[in-house]
Amino acid sequence: MNLPFEPVLFGIKLNMHLILEYLAFFVGFRYYVFLRKKREDTISLNNRLSIIIGAVFGALLLSRLVAFFENPVVAYEQGWFAIFNNKTIMGGLFGGLLGVELAKKIIGEKQSSGDLFTLPIILGIIIGRFGCFLAGIKEFTYGVQTTSFFGMNLGDGVLRHPIALYEIVFLILLFMLINKGQQKPNRFESGTYFKIFMISYFTFRFFIEFLKPNTFLIFNLSSIQYLCLICWLYYVNPIYTFMARKKL
C-alpha cells in the first residue's frame, strides 16, 4: 500500500483521513453512550449535556490556537481559512478540559466527570490516528528521517518515523490498562482514570515531539511540548499526591 492512501470510489478520490476523523467522533460518542448505560452515572443527564457542550467549545478554540503556534509562519501565509481549519488533538484535549471545568462552575456541578469519557476519547484518537497514518506526509503526524528498523516511506520517498503508528500502539496499551483498572470498582476516587490518561498521553507526546520536524520555539521546545508542560502544572497536585501515597 502506497501512502498517502486515497482510494477512488465511483470516480471520487476518498479522503481517508477525513472519513476516519468523522468515524472517530461517531464511534467515540456511541461508545460513551454504551458505557453510560452500562455503568452508573451519578451526574444528571442535563448536567452531563452541559459538560459536553463546554468540552466541545473549549476543544474547538484551543485546538485551533495550538495548531497555529505549531508553525505560525506557515499558518499565517495559508490565510484565515487554513488557520480555522488546522487543529490538533492536544489543544482539543486541554481546551476540552478547561471547557468542562468552566461549565461545571456555571452549573454548580461538584462531581468529577472525566472517567466516563476516558475510554471513548482514547478509542476516538486511535481511529483518528489511523487516518493520520494513511494520509502520509499530508498530515503533520510524520517523523524525521531515520535509518532505524522502524523507518517507513510515508509518501515522499524518505524513511521516516511513523509517529502515528507509535501513538496507536501506546494508546492501545493505555486503553487496555485503564479498561482493566475500571473493572475494579472503587479502586480510585472518581476522575482518577481521566487524570491518568491525560498525564500519560501528554508525557508520551512531550517526548515523541522530538521525533517530528517541528518548529521549535524557546529552549528548543515546540508549542505542543509547552502545552504538555502546562498540563503537568495543571495536574501537579494529583501527581504529588500519587507519588506521596506510593512512598507510604
pLDDT, tens digit (0-9, with 9 covering 90-100), for 4-23: 888 888 888 888 888 999 99
Q: How confident is the model at residue 84 (pLDDT cuts 50, 70, 90)?
A: low
pLDDT at residue number 248: 47
Predicted confidence at residue 2, as pLDDT, reads 79
Question: Which of 11-15, 39-43, 72-76 holds the top average pLDDT?
Answer: 11-15
Q: Taking the CA atoms of the chain, what radius of gyration do you get in angstroms?
A: 19
Q: Between these two residues, 44 and 19, which has the higher pLDDT value? A: 19
**CB 215 within 8 Å of CB 70:** yes
Q: What is the pLDDT of residues 171-219, one digit of tens each?
A: 999 999 999 988 876 667 778 899 999 999 999 999 999 999 877 767 8
**Burial tier of 106 (Cβ tally within 10 Å: 0-12, 13-18, 19+):** exposed
Our CA dihedral for 193, 196, 199, 204, rounded to 10 degrees, sits at -120
Judged against a pLDDT cut of 70, whether residue 126 lies above it is answered with yes
Verdict on whether the full-model pTM lies above 0.95: no
Q: What is the pLDDT of residue 46?
A: 84
